[in-house]
Chain A
């Protein structure tokens, strides 16, 4: 339950820097290509340049971040794979996911204004994204409740599980809400233009760059969370010491202290 191991190995920290650098380069390249090199669309004009950003952030927020958070939560809940690592990863994924989610909504909104004439038109996908954002925020709100790491982890994992099973249902319900509506909808104009040539490569680059950006932010956020927990576990040593010196006991049993080193091994002693 507590860990005294170093937070992240040097290999991981090096990898984080490399990924961050690649993400930066990739994003810069995407911006340059997207804004200057690629041609404007016949129908949507320069507006189409948002296609290098919007689907990319949407993919990260809706599938990558959410999927990762759900998978990590399940791994935490499953007794055999239970480890605070999964909980921290899930929390990091959700936090970074919120950022990308908001970017999705903003970029979708910016795209929608000229296309639909309004800032928001209850497009099925954007609406689902908005609901997912609220679910993410609920998860984060739950995490802010002060509690010990294991309790918080379990509670958050359950919340993630409940939200995760809801997401497909929400997706379909919003989709049918839009498409099964009896009246004609004027605002059915699609946000997806046709893509070819240099646009396709830029689009792909955009996806990759944004994914790398997500991974970098994820690793950094994870590290912060792990450091916070590490600080907390050091306090347990001191607490055990203090507790045992409450009585007239001169030396605490080594077995009780050993629990701090590795929580998994039961300190079984034959007397």
Chain B
């Protein structure tokens, strides 16, 4: 199957309108993200930042316009796109009755990723010992976020979609998160981070876009991308 755009583009949105019934979540978004970029997404509440991530993840269908993720149409190549894209959402998608290890195992195996990476990922996120055997219902919000992050680290997707990932984390967890993001993008992944605290992300982002009223209303270049990554202007 020939890709629909050059393989150096991680995500391409062309005049995308996404609806939730009668309400336009996105009202004409244009965005091109190249492989290896780290994009910070800012904007007021309700502007459509989360919807942007959900469209990129293939969860929300587009009413008009075109979305291309890693050269594929998320509507037609649903399974493949979902396996290569990872979303860290507000919800952690954990099962209350299972413990941490079981949750991570299930999520990683469900995504078809390599189960041997689970140990390393959990250790990285500080999920060891008794915590591994703790039921998900007993976890704090920050701990749940760590578990979801561990799943992402183990899965190592090509696109990381992070929805306000720093919210609810303490200082050490925040710096760990930033380390992980930088490592991932250094390894060739693309990251799109929604955040209300841009100062946390600006140091590692290649550019920042602002979303207002369901459209991209601003863009600024931040750090330059290292020469070995090609990106689409």
A interface residue numbers (CB < 8 A to B): 1, 147-151, 232-233, 235-236, 239-240, 243-249, 252-253, 255-256, 258-259, 263, 265-269, 271
Contact = CB atoms under 8 A, between A and B. Distances in A.
Interface string B27-45: 1101000000000000010
B24 A266 contact: no
B127 to A, nearest CB: 38
A239 B15 contact: no
B214 A244 contact: yes
Contacts of A269: 14-15
B212 A246 contact: yes
Contact of B28 (A1, A149, A252): A252
19 contacts: A150-B21, A236-B19, A243-B27, A244-B28, A244-B213, A246-B46, A246-B212, A246-B213, A246-B214, A248-B212, A256-B64, A258-B64, A263-B64, A267-B17, A267-B65, A268-B14, A268-B65, A269-B14, A269-B15
Interface of B: 14-15, 17, 19-24, 27-28, 30, 44, 46-47, 63-66, 212-215, 217
Contacts of B214: 243-244, 246
Contacts of B20: 148
Contacts of A240: 24, 27
Contacts of B24: 236, 239-240, 243, 256
A149 B21 CA distance: 7
Contact of B213 (A236, A243, A258, A267): A243
Given A236-B22, A268-B66, A252 B27 contact: yes
B28 to A, nearest CB: 4
B63 A259 contact: yes
Contacts of A271: 30
A248 to B, nearest CB: 7
Contacts of B213: 243-247, 249
B47 A235 contact: no
B217 A249 contact: yes
Contacts of A267: 15, 17, 64-65
Overall SS of chain B's interface: strand
Given A259-B64, A267-B64, A147 B217 contact: no
Given A255-B28, A266-B65, A267-B15, A244 B215 contact: yes
B47 A246 contact: yes
A266 B187 CA distance: 36
A51 B119 CA distance: 76
Contacts of B19: 1, 236
Given A240-B24, A247-B212, A252-B28, 9 more contacts: A235-B22, A239-B22, A247-B215, A249-B215, A253-B15, A255-B28, A258-B64, A263-B63, A268-B65
A150 B20 CA distance: 10
A247 B22 contact: no
Given A243-B213, A244-B27, A266 B66 contact: yes
A219 B223 CA distance: 63
Contacts of A255: 15, 28, 64-65
A46 B214 CA distance: 70
A79 to B, nearest CB: 11
Nearest to B211: A247
Contacts of A259: 17, 63-64
A148 B21 contact: yes
Residue from the set B19, B63, B64 with the largest chain A CB neighbour count within 10 Å: B64
Contacts of A151: 21
Nearest to A237: B22
B168 to A, nearest CB: 27
A239 B20 CA distance: 11
A9 B2 CA distance: 44
A110 B61 CA distance: 53
A50 B66 CA distance: 61
Contact of A248 (B17, B30, B63, B217): B217
B71 to A, nearest CB: 18
A261 to B, nearest CB: 11
A132 B66 CA distance: 43
Nearest to A1: B63
A242 to B, nearest CB: 9
Contacts of A239: 22-24
Contacts of A258: 64
A251 to B, nearest CB: 11
B115 to A, nearest CB: 35
A235 B215 CA distance: 20
